[in-house]
Structure 1
Amino acid sequence: MPNHIKAILTVLVFIVAVVSYFFQAAAGQEVTQWLVLGLGAFMIATIWLFPEAGNKDSKR
C-alpha cells in the first residue's frame, strides 16, 4: 500500500478515535474511552508495521 494512502488512513483513524474518546467521556464511560484510544493507537501501529496481505505471484 502506498505511503500516502497509509497517511490518509492514519489521519482518519486518529480523528475517529479522538472523537469517539470524547463521546465516551461525555457518556461517562471512563474505561471505554481509554480502550477506544488504545485501539486507535493499535490500529495505526499495525497499518505501518505489517505489510499488506496478498499473493506473492501477483507481481509477475
Structure 2
Amino acid sequence: MPTIVKLTISLIVILVAAAGYALQAHLGQVGPKYAVLFLGAFMVIAMWLFPEVSRKEIRK
C-alpha cells in the first residue's frame, strides 16, 4: 500500500477515534471512551506494523 494512502487512512482513523472519544466523554461513558481510544490507536499501529499480504503465483 502506498505511504500516502496509509497516511490518509491513519489520519481518518485518528479523527474518528478522537470524535468517538469526545462523544463518549460527553455522554459520561468511562469504559467505552477508553475502548474507542485504544482501538483507534491499535488499528493505526497494526496497519503500519504488519505488512500487506501479497500472493505470488505458482508456476507449474
Assess same fold via TM > 0.5: yes
4+ residue segments displaced more than 3 Å: none
**Percent of aligned pairs sharing the same letter:** 42
CA distance in 2, matches of 1:27, 1:53: 39
CA distance in 2, matches of 1:14, 1:56: 33
CA distance in 1, matches of 2:9, 2:56: 24
Alignment of 1:1-60 (within 5 A): 1-57=1-57
- What is the number of equivalent residue pairs in this alignment? 57
TM-score by length of 1: 0.88
- Structure 2 residues not aligned, in runs of 5+: none
Distance 2:43 2:54 in 1: 19
Q: TM-score, normalised by structure 2?
A: 0.88
Deviation at 1:32, TM superposition (A): 0.6
The CA deviation at 1:8 is 0.2
Partner secondary structure for residue 56 of structure 1: coil
- The alpha carbon displacement at 1:50 in A equals 0.7
